[in-house]
């Protein structure tokens, strides 16, 4: 993280003219804007958790004392008494420049309308401190509670720019004068008692923010006649000063004209988050291994004796069809592998007319495909594979005796090309059975051929 350990003189302007080279620290404090780190590796925390730790930077050290006194709110002479205020001012009475913070507030009112006015006085000096931070992704959050209760001061320092000067307009302002110039006017507020003591006049809005309006915090008589008291504003003022200095230290480190590697702080953070982790259950592992072994044993039993086949065996569709006695592959012999089947059968002309398969140059007509039924496939000699007969009364069977099984329309001849055989019904020595059957069948459409 880039953060300066000291605020250089002149960062807040001069003692007489308060100005910033970059008003972002003041604006971001006022708007409570998100503090972000760079997205480079090492500058942010993993998204599945948060990182906590401390980073050294320019800040303030302080010590506070508290006093109290009573005030009769029903006494008219106490009208216009200050019952709430926050002020700050530079002080040079103790041998070193200090910023005095005073917080006055009516902290309690009893049943007789006797109030207790508490005054907190804090002496603030410039210091290098450890800021407790929480980082999630690239968002940095200052942990104010830890800072107020367990603050860690690395060292105090006195800046020349905070010394009292007779030429304030030309003297560069130090961190305390700058802090008072920018933050003092924002936290300044005052409230005076009216009479009767049920209302007050205020300067600034902070007095209204700390006014206690809860009826349960008063007695019935006090709430009706003198219901005025405030919460302690001191912690708010110290927290505001601290956060402003933290943002200013970041601004100094990231300002182009003052940037240097000395402002790059390397620090260690503790990571807290939720991560998904897996653990092995060896009981399930053992069960899974047993099931795997049983599966392997079952496969081994099925394949035992494969060497007795005397040849390599695969799951090729050709070998599977051969094993189930496909008519087209009967000529390949008994013990044939895929390569031998292809060499023995060679190229076969296959066609499909939408009704059935035709191979080896001859076709038989049959009925259409139906659910669960496969059209019959017939060879040149009229033998058929699995299928069903035509519902119109049979099929036309091809033969090797020259008959025309196409009903005088088309025939598949050598080479698979269609040939018109005329309309007289004669096919060159064919049987009359073929002609008669074809008249009961639909006329065949054009047949597409496929080589396999």
Domain locations along the chain = 24-272, 281-310, 347-452
Confidence of residue 256 (pLDDT cuts 50, 70, 90): low
Helices (H) and strands (E) in the chain, counts: 10, 15
What b/e sequence results for 405-433 when a residue is b if at least 16 CB atoms lie within 10 Å of its CB, and e otherwise? Answer: bbbbebbbeeebebeebeeebebeebbee
> What one-character-per-residue DSSP string does 208-254 give?
HHHB---GGGS-HHHHHHH---B---HHHHHHHHHHHHHHHHHHHHH
Arithmetic mean of pLDDT, 407-412: 37
pLDDT tens, residue by residue, 342-354: 888 777 777 766 6
pLDDT tens, residue by residue, 161-194: 999 988 888 899 999 999 999 898 889 999 999 9
Query: Is the link from the previous residue into 39 a cis peptide, with omega within 30 of 0?
Result: no
Judge whether 173 and 188 are in contact, CB under 8 Å.
no
Question: pLDDT at residue 299 above 70?
Answer: yes
DSSP 330: G
Arithmetic mean of pLDDT, 135-142: 87
CA distance 120 to 101: 8
> What one-character-per-residue DSSP string does 171-188 give?
SBP-HHHHHHHHHHHHH-
Contacts 24+ apart (CB under 8 A), 419-422: none
Question: pLDDT at residue 403 above 90?
Answer: no
Average pLDDT of the chain, as a whole number: 77
Q: Which residue has the higher pLDDT, 41 or 16?
A: 16
**How many CB atoms are located within 10 Å of the residue 208 CB?**
14
CA distance 28 to 321: 81
pLDDT at 13: 87
pLDDT at 433: 36
Judge whether 58 and 175 are in contact, CB under 8 Å.
yes
Angle ∠(62,65,71) on CA atoms, nearest 5: 140
Confidence of residue 197 (pLDDT cuts 50, 70, 90): very high
pLDDT tens, residue by residue, 308-319: 877 777 888 888
Residue 183 tokens read as 């933050």
CA torsion sign for 408, 435, 403, 411 is positive
CA distance 416 to 394: 25
| Highest mean pLDDT out of 10-14, 68-72, 425-429 | 68-72
Task: Name the least confident of 166-175, 262-271, 321-330, 424-433.
Answer: 424-433
CA distance 119 to 315: 96
Judge whether 135 and 151 are in contact, CB under 8 Å.
no
CA quadruple 336, 340, 342, 348: dihedral, nearest 10: -70
Which residue, among 132, 125, 232, has the nearest Cα to 180 in the 3D structure?
125
pTM of this structure: 0.60
Confidence of residue 335 (pLDDT cuts 50, 70, 90): low
CA distance 267 to 273: 19
pLDDT tens, residue by residue, 124-133: 999 999 999 9
Residue 26 tokens read as 């003041």
Residue 14 tokens read as 């001069």
């Amino acid at each position: 993280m880039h953060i300066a350990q000291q605020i250089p003189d002149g960062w807040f302007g001069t003692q007489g003219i308060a100005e910033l080279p970059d008003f972002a620290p003041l604006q971001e404090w006022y708007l409570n804007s998100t503090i972000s780190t760079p997205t480079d590796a090492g500058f942010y925390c993993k998204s599945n958790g948060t990182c906590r730790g401390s980073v050294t930077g320019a800040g303030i050290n302080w010590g506070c004392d508290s006093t109290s006194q009573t005030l009769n709110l029903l006494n008219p002479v106490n009208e216009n008494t200050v019952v709430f205020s926050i002020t700050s001012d530079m002080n040079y009475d103790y041998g070193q420049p200090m910023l005095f913070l005073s917080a006055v507030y009516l902290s309690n009112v009893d049943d007789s309308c006797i109030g207790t006015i508490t005054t907190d006085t804090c002496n603030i000096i410039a210091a290098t401190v450890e800021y407790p931070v929480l980082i999630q992704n690239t968002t940095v959050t200052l942990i104010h509670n830890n800072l107020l209760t367990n603050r860690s001061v690395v060292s105090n320092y006195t800046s020349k720019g905070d010394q009292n000067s007779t030429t304030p307009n030309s003297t560069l302002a130090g961190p305390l004068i700058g802090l008072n110039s920018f933050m003092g006017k924002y936290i300044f507020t005052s409230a005076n008692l009216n009479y009767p003591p049920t209302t007050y006049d205020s300067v600034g809005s902070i007095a209204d923010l700390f006014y206690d309006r809860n009826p349960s915090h008063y007695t019935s008589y006090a709430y009706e006649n003198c219901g005025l008291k405030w919460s302690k504003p001191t912690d708010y003022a110290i927290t505001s000063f601290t956060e402003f200095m933290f943002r200013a230290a970041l601004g100094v480190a990231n300002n182009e004209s003052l940037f240097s590697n000395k402002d790059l702080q390397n620090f260690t953070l503790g990571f807290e988050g939720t991560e998904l982790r897996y653990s092995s259950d060896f009981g399930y592992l053992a069960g899974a291994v047993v099931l795997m072994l049983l599966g392997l044993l079952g496969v081994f039993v099925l394949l035992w004796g494969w060497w007795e086949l005397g040849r390599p065996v695969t799951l090729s569709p050709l070998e599977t069809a051969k094993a189930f006695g496909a008519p087209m592959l009967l000529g390949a012999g008994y013990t044939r592998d895929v390569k031998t089947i292809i060499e023995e059968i060679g190229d076969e002309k296959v066609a499909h007319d939408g009704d059935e398969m035709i191979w080896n140059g001859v076709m038989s007509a049959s009925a259409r495909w139906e659910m669960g039924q496969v059209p019959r496939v017939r060879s040149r000699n009229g033998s058929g594979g699995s299928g069903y007969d035509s519902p119109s009364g049979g099929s036309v069977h091809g033969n090797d005796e020259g008959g025309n099984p196409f009903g005088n329309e088309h025939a598949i001849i050598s080479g698979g090309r269609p040939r018109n055989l005329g309309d007289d019904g004669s096919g060159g020595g064919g049987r009359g059975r073929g002609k008669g059957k074809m008249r009961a069948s639909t006329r065949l459409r054009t047949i597409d051929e496929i080589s396999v």
